[in-house]
C-alpha cells in the first residue's frame, strides 16, 4: 500500500468579506503541517487585494477580473493548486489547527480515497458554537468503497456535507470536470457525486472545521419549490452513478420523484403553506409506491444511527 504523505492546497474563496477572510487565512496558515494557501478573490472592492498581497509569499493570490460566482472561484483555485489534495474553505468558514494533519493521517490509511469528509461545528457570527454535524458511521475514521458510495448517497446515509467539511484529491476533481458553472445551488453536492466516480470515500468523526450560519442567510431564502426541484435533480444525478451491484434494489425514477414530492408536501404543511403543499401532493398522493418509499426513508433514517450502510472501519 502506498503510504506517501499527500500534499495539500487550501483554496479560500472570497468576495467583499475582508474581516472574515483574515480569520480564514489565519487558520490556514496556522495548520500543524505546511500547506499551500490560495485565495481566490471574486473581484472584491473592500481592500481584499491589498491585504492578501501584504502577506507576501505566505499566500498565493488570484483575482478574478469579474465575479465568477462560487463555482468559478473554486475551479480557478484548484487550477492553480500544486497540492495533490485540495481543502476548500469559504471566507466565512475556518479550520481547526490540526485539520489538515488529521486528514492526511486518514488518507495514508486509505490512499485509494479521492474524497474525505469530517465533522463541522456550526457557529454564529460571533464564533459561538450552535451545533455539530452528526456522526456518520463507526469509529473515528472509516471508508466506503467506491462501488457503494452513490448507493449510500441515494439512501441519504452518506452525507459529505458542505465545502468546509470536504477535501478532494486534485486529480479526481480535474477528471470529474470541476464545479458546474450552470448550477446556482448544490453545486458542491453535484461535484461530490462526480468526484466519487474515481475512488473511495473517507469519513472522519472528529470536528475539524467551523461553518458560520447567518440569520436570514441565502440557504434560508430558497423557496420550497426550488428545494424540491433541486432535490429531484440531485437524486437523478446520483441515480445515474450507482454501481451495477446495487441496480436491482433501485425504485423507478418516476416513483422517486413522487416520493420527494410527498416529502416536500409534508414540509410545506408544517410551514402552513397549503397551496404549495397541494401543488406538491398532486398526483403523488395517489401513488402507493411513493408512500412506501417515504415510509421506508423515514424508517431508514431512524435506523442509521445504530446500523449505517456498508461502511468499513479503519481504526
Q: What percent of the chain has pLDDT over 70?
A: 92
Burial pattern 274-305, b for ≥16 Cβ within 10 A else e, equals: eebbebbbeebeebeebeebbeebeeeeeebe
- For residues 36 and 83, the answer to whether their CB atoms sit within 8 Å is yes
- 171 with 307, same domain: the answer is no
- Residues 167 and 237 grouped into a single domain: no
For residue 118, give its domain range.
8-215
Q: All 3 cell numbers of residue 191?
A: 461535484
Average pLDDT over residues 95-106: 98
* Same domain, residue pair 135 and 228: no
Q: What are the grid coordinates assigned to 207, written together?
A: 470536528
Both 291 and 154 in a single domain? no
pLDDT of residue 20: 95
Q: Tell me the chain's radius of gyration from C-alpha atoms.
A: 20
Query: Hey, how many other C-beta atoms are within 10 angstroms of the C-beta on 200?
Result: 20
Residue 137 near residue 202 (C-beta atoms within 8 A): no
pTM: predicted TM-score of the whole model, two decimal places: 0.89
State the average pLDDT over residues 131-142: 86
* 233 and 110 within one domain: no
For the stretch 271-309, pLDDT in tens is 999 999 999 999 999 999 999 988 887 776 565 444 343
- Indicate whether 89 and 193 sit together in one domain: yes
Q: Please check whether residues 224 and 208 belong to one and the same domain.
A: no
Looking at residue 2, its pLDDT comes to 53
- Answer yes or no: do 205 and 228 share one domain: no
**Whether residues 76 and 113 fall in one domain:** yes
pLDDT of residue 217: 53
Do residues 302 and 161 share a domain? no
Per-residue confidence (pLDDT) for residue 229, from 0 to 100: 92
Do 188 and 270 lie in one domain? The reply is no
Whether 2 is covered by a domain: the verdict is: no
Q: What is the pLDDT of residue 60?
A: 98
Amino acid at each position: 500500500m502506498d503510504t506517501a504523505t499527500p500534499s495539500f492546497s487550501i483554496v479560500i474563496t472570497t468576495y467583499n468579506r475582508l474581516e472574515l477572510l483574515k480569520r480564514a487565512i489565519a487558520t490556514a496558515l496556522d495548520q500543524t503541517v505546511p500547506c499551500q494557501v490560495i485565495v481566490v478573490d471574486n473581484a472584491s472592492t473592500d481592500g481584499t487585494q491589498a491585504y492578501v498581497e501584504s502577506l507576501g509569499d505566505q499566500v498565493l493570490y488570484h483575482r478574478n477580473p469579474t465575479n465568477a460566482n462560487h463555482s468559478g472561484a473554486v475551479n480557478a483555485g484548484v487550477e492553480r493548486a500544486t497540492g495533490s489534495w485540495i481543502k476548500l474553505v469559504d471566507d466565512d468558514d475556518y479550520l481547526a489547527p490540526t485539520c489538515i494533519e488529521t486528514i492526511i493521517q486518514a488518507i495514508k490509511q486509505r490512499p485509494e480515497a479521492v474524497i474525505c469528509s469530517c465533522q463541522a461545528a456550526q457557529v454564529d457570527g460571533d464564533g459561538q458554537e450552535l451545533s455539530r454535524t452528526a456522526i456518520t458511521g463507526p469509529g473515528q475514521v472509516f471508508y466506503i468503497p467506491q462501488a457503494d458510495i452513490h448507493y449510500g448517497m441515494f439512501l441519504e446515509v452518506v452525507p459529505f456535507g458542505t465545502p468546509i467539511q470536504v477535501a478532494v484529491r486534485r486529480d479526481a476533481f480535474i477528471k470529474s470536470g470541476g464545479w458546474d458553472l450552470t448550477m446556482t445551488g448544490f453545486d458542491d453536492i453535484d461535484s461530490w457525486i462526480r468526484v466519487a466516480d474515481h475512488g473511495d470515500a473517507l469519513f472522519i468523526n472528529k470536528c475539524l472545521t467551523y461553518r458560520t450560519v447567518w440569520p436570514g442567510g441565502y440557504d434560508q431564502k430558497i423557496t420550497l419549490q426550488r428545494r424540491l426541484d433541486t432535490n429531484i435533480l440531485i437524486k437523478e444525478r446520483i441515480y445515474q452513478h450507482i454501481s451495477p451491484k446495487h441496480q436491482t434494489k433501485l425504485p423507478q425514477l418516476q416513483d422517486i420523484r413522487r416520493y420527494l414530492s410527498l416529502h416536500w408536501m409534508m414540509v410545506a404543511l408544517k410551514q402552513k403553506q397549503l397551496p404549495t403543499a397541494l401543488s406538491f401532493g398532486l398526483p403523488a398522493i395517489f401513488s402507493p409506491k411513493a408512500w412506501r418509499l417515504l415510509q421506508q426513508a423515514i424508517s431508514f433514517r431512524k435506523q442509521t444511527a445504530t446500523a449505517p450502510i456498508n461502511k468499513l472501519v479503519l481504526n
